[in-house]
Structures are given as C-alpha cells and as structure tokens.
Structure 1
Amino acid sequence: MTAAVRFPVSTTLLRRLALASIIANVGIVVTGGAVRLTASGLGCPTWPRCTDESYTATAEMGVHGVIEFGNRLLTFAVGIIALAVLLAVLLHRPRRRGLVPLAVAVLLGIPAQAVIGGITVLTNLNPWVVGLHFLASMAVIAVAYALWRRVTDPDGPAVPVVPAPLRALARLTTGVSVVVLVVGTWVTGSGPHAGDHGAARNGLDPETISQVHADAVFLLLGLSVALVFAFRAVGAAGPARAAVVLVAVELGQGVIGFVQYVTNLPALLVGAHMLGSCLVLLAALAVQWSTHERHPVSTGPAISPASEPALLPS
C-alpha cells in the first residue's frame, strides 16, 4: 500500500494549505518591512550567522537584533508551510495537473529569498538589493496564488470567458501593476527608511521618482476602471467583480500612499503601504485569472455509435 493511500490528502486540506502559503508569504513581506522601518536591518550584522560567533541574537544586540533574528526565524516557518503544501500535492489523489511544479517553485523561492536577504546584509543594505528582495517576495506570492487557484478550480482546460482584446487589456493591467511595484522599490530606496541609520540611498531624487510612481499608479487605476466597464459591456459578471475589487484596493492603496507622502513617511503608514502592495498584486492576478474558467473533465462513459438510439423514420 502506497503512502498516498495510507495518508490521503483531501482537496479541502490542500486548498487551506495553499491559502496559508499565500498568507505566510504576505506576512514575511510585512515583517520584513518592520525590520527596515525600525532600523533593524543590520540588527544581525552578518549572514547566515547573526554574529561572527552566533547564529542567534545576543542580549548585547538589543531590540534590533531581536527584530532581525525574529524575521529570519519566520522564514523557516514560511518554508515549513511551503514544504507541507508540496507534500500535500504529492499525496493528493487524483493528482492535479500542474500543481507539482508550482509547489516546487514556491518551496525553492523561500531559500532564494533568504539568500537575497543575506546579500542585503552583506552589502550593508544596498537599496537596489533591498528592492530585489521585496520583488522576489512578490514573485513567490504570485506563484503561491497560482497554486491556490489551480487547487480551487476544476481540473479541466481553461476556457476564455471574455473576448481576446479584453484578455489582452487584463494582461496589460497586470503588467502595469508589476511596473508600479518595481518603481515603488525605487521610491523606497530614495527615501528615509534605509533599514539602518548608516545605510546608503540609491541617489534618485525622492520627489521626482515619487511623481513617476504616481503617474504609473494613475495609469494602473485608469486601466482597471476601463476593465470594469469593458467586462460589464460584454456581460462578464465574474471578471467585472474582480476588476471592481482591484479598483477598490488601488484606491485604498492610493490614499495610504498620498497620506504617507504628505506626512513625511511615518513608519506605520509605510508598513501599511507594503501590505497594500501585496493586495494590489493579488487583486490584479485575480482579474487575470477571472478571464478564463475551468470546467470539470467529463468522466462519464462515451456513447458509441452502435449504442446510440436509432432515429425514428419521419
């Protein structure tokens, strides 16, 4: 008897684990932001050890060491969840198509994030590397979301529910959301929250790059509103709802971004803005996913020509 038979994994459990993976990866982004916003980025001044002599924070390192080391420990928790998802995918029957590569990608993304995080420490919080660390987390969140949706959807072929031009518009909107995230890391790298009082900035003018970021946000908002009306025009209720959610998340994120800008970037609002970035990405992916539907694969017996009822003569 195989392990998969002895220890079956239900679809409900697999779905919950996949959702937990998304939440955990969003959580690591927020806690990573807390490290930077409390100037604890070099609380553990080396990597992979916390100090040259210890893998853990010491009392002499104070609260900054506790915060940085705590964030490193959370990486292990996220990795354990990702491993649990992979094991659940392998034990689930019938095996869902495409889930194994996605689960492996999420799992491998965790140590990759850890390595990039280590490079940020070894480069004294170089702002470009810090930005890359954030974007790597966004990539893992995107893959984790795809995994969750594949578990949630029936295991059938993806069928478009909106015309090709609207699917292209949805892809463009998702692409612009990624641009907004990338430019947002440039804004962060030019601002005051360096993660440590001695860390360098990227040299970009904060006011200029903030305006570029705002322009990209306005473009994203315009495309998202256009999606709402376009989906409604073709009677695509599901995609229209997803686009409305995206617009709502963008508006909330925009309000946070504007308030933090005019109030000189208070740490609490910057942290909320980082959480909002994750939600914008997830909402954009939801719109992209809504442009297709999957239907269960028919498992009924095929009717052979010989078994078909004969046509009555007219």
Structure 2
Amino acid sequence: MDLDAVRTFVTAADAGQFQEAAAELRVTQQAVSKRIAALERALGVRLFIRAPRGAELTIDGQAFLPHARELLRAAERAVASVRTGRRPLRVDMLASRSAASGVMRAFHRAYPEIELDVVMLFGIDDAVAAIRSGAIDASFRAVTMPGRPLPDDVTAERVLDEPLQLLVGPAHKLAGARSVTVAQLAGHRIWMPGIVPGTEWATFYDDLVAEFGLTIEVTGPNFGSDALLDTIADTPALATFMGERTRLVWPEGHGLRRIPVTCPTPVYPHALLWRRDDPHPALATLRAYLATTAAGQDTAGTWTPSWAIPR
C-alpha cells in the first residue's frame, strides 16, 4: 500500500478539504485528488464524497481512518528502529558473570542514556557472522587465533587484560599460599570442564599448557559453575583457573580461595570486535570508554599467547 496515499488520505480527512490538505503536504490539489483516487482503486471503495463545505468521509472512509493512522505510526516506528543512534547498541559477551559483563555494567552506569541490548553467543564464528550481518554491533572475544584471521570488514582492539587466578578448596596443598608462581603449578591437577575444543579460550589454555608444562583436565560433563565450585571445594586434589574479574558466588562453607598467579601472571586478552562501517554513534562512545579503562593496564610480568592482539 502506498504510504504517501495513506498519509494524504489522513491529512485530507483531518482538514476536511483537499485544498487545505494540498497546502499542508506542499503538493498541488490535483496531486491530492490523484493519490486519493489511487487509494480508492486499491481498496475498491469510495473514501470521500464531495460536499458543499469540502470533502466528507464515507462510511468506508470512517472505517479505514483509524487503521490508516496506525499504518503511519507503524511506518514511523519502523524507520526509528533503524535510524542511526535510535536503536539500542547490541553487544555480545560470553557469559553474564564474565569480565566483559562487569565492563558493560560500568559503561552503562557511566552512560545511562545509551540504550543497550546484551546478547550471549557461543563461538567466535557466530559472533563474527552476527557482526557482519548487523545483528550485533560489537563482541568481546580473545582474538586472533592462529590461522583464523578476521574478515577484512571486521576489526578488533584489545581492551581488557584479565589476570588468571587459581581457585582452590580449603584442603588443597596451595590453600594457604598468598600467591603461587606458574612453576609451582606444575604437577597440580587443574580441572576446567568448560573448555570447548576449537574455541578461542581453548586455544588460550592449550598455549598456556604448552608454554609452562601445566596439567589442565577437561574430563567429565560440564554441569556449570555451581557444580564446578562444589567439586573444587570438596576435592583437595583439584584446582581451577578463574579470571580476576569473573564474578562467581559460592556458599560461605565452601571455603574457596582465589590465589594470584605470578612469575609471570597469565593474562586473558579480551578484545572488542566490530564492523568497520558500523554507523551506530554509541559504538564510538563505547570504544573511547574502553580505551580509557585499558590505558592503565600494566603488561610487565604477564604472559599472553603470541597471537594476542598487541597492546
């Protein structure tokens, strides 16, 4: 249906005269008449009858008027939904308790006027495809993995270095340590059932194992973080890695301890991915905010895989 004709019909109905409708729409009276006639042909009914004081709605015109108004409102909403800066900024992250989630909550507090949509996609391939299609504006990932370059229309910037910590139960041999070196972890069983082969975080931990001779076990089903914490609390032989800014909560009776890892500190390099020609103005605001928060990060005494984006 021709929205110009629908808009002309509504304007003429409100004005009561084609001449006044033409003046409001800044077209000729003849153009108004042609648009109304075309709409009547499309609908198969008469919408107006000529009267001494102008144009009056027929019964069919009266029935169509509220629907015509709703058509115009729907068209306005449709345009607004994709107008630059009017739709929410859509950002992807791996998990709701991840470091990226904390960063985005802080960004929202700093810029409450920016509307956000947060989504959680699984792998980097899904995230890149969503960026390229416009389904999302940005994604937090660790890139680039060896042999997996980003498409030319997608770019990335390293925005957050997250030190790893060792999480142990109260009976673990290292539970009383204030910190542990990477060398001290050799021979200890580090259990991480959430590592999925082929993901960027699996590649990170593979390189960590190869670099320092650690033992990371991924056996058993992944029942989620609660089950992982229960097992670590109850099993003296197992520990796990956790990001310093990962927010997990466990019962007080678990007695779990986060222990800093040093000499060097393994750092997970979070990056922000986005499409080079994404026009959303809030994306630039987010990038500027992340650049400010990343400025004070110290890389001395840390380790990242060789494929991490340089700082």
Which of these two proteins has the greater Rg computed from alpha carbons? 2
Structure 1 or 2: more strand by fraction: 2
Fold shared, TM-score > 0.5 on shorter chain: no
Structure 1 or 2: more helix by fraction: 1
With the shorter chain as reference, the TM-score category is: under 0.3
